[in-house]
Each structure stands twice: as C-alpha cells, then as structure tokens.
Amino acid sequence: MKKAIFPGSFDPLTLGHCEIIEKATQIFDELIVSVGNNYEKKYKFTLDKRLEFISSEFKNNPKVIVKSYDGLTAEFCKKMNVNHIVRGLRNPADFEFEKKIALFNNSLEKIETIFFLTSPNYAFISSSIVREIIDNNGDYRKFVPKSVSF
C-alpha cells in the first residue's frame, strides 16, 4: 500500500488544500492529512475544528485519513510508517521554502517529498489571507470548501 502524509496547520482548510488532497489520492492508496499542533502558534480555529473541517469535507473519500500530531513531521512519518510527504506549491517562493524542509526531512528519516502544483485558479489562496478576510468580516466562502463554516 502506498501511503503519504500531507502535513499542515489547515487554519482553515482552503480550496487549494482540497485540490492537493484530490491530486494526491489519485497516486496514493492512503493519504493521512496531518494537522500539526504547535502550542506556541496562535491559531484562528481550534485543533478540533480544523480536524472537523477536513473530516467533513472528505468523509466520502476512504483514501483520506485525518489525524493530528505534535512535534516534527519526520517523526510523525516514522510513527505512521510513511515514507512520503505531499506538499503543494503555489509559486517559486513556496518551492524554495518547501525544498529546505524536504531536504531536512529526508536527512532525518529518508522521507521523500512529492510536490504538486496548485492550479492557477487556487494559486493565490492562502490560509493567512482567508483568516484576514474572516477577521475583517469579508466573504471568505469562495476560497474554502463548504465544510468550512462557523
């Protein structure tokens, strides 16, 4: 069975994230969408709410497993017996950032990172921009799946 992890904070889940999940499930038999929990980071949505957004959105896709984790992604991969990480790329800056993390994870646990390009329709969407729209009472709904409601 080919398994991968798609780690992130998903604060909140966006249409770009959903696109990457859909692409990854075409290649992997199981995709563990791993919601990181960094106690030093200030999140807009609770861990339970972020898990709920993803679980609700992909409830009909048996290839998607949703879990939370603390600590290093490489350690979580080892614990889950997974050798592949999935990441989405929106632009060249994402690639430079993600390349460093991919090399780090590979040096720790021999984990390979698979990059998927986000389509132009979603390349401008980020969770931080969605949070800003929400904080300013804007219409965030066109950037997130229907499961992201509050």
- Number of folded domains in the chain? 1
How far apart (Å, rounded) are the C-alpha atoms in residues 74 and 6?
Answer: 12
Q: Which residues are catalytic?
A: 17, 41, 90, 127
Q: Cβ(31)–Cβ(1) under 8 Å?
A: no
Beta strand extents in the chain (DSSP E only): 3-8, 30-36, 64-69, 84-89, 112-117
- Does 26 have pLDDT greater than 80? yes
Is residue 149 domain-resident?
Answer: no
Determine, yes or no, domain membership for 48: yes
Cα-to-chain-centroid distance, residue 90: 13
In a domain, 87, yes or no: yes
The tokens describing 4, both together, are 């991968």
pLDDT tens for residues 97-137? 999 999 999 998 899 999 999 999 999 999 999 999 999 99
Q: What is the pLDDT of residues 34-57, one digit of tens each?
A: 999 888 888 999 999 999 999 999
The domain that holds 86 is classified in CATH as 3.40.50.620
Q: What angle do CA 60, 71, 30 make, to 5 degrees?
A: 25
Residues in Cβ contact with 18 at an 8 Å cutoff, skipping those fewer than 6 apart: 57, 145
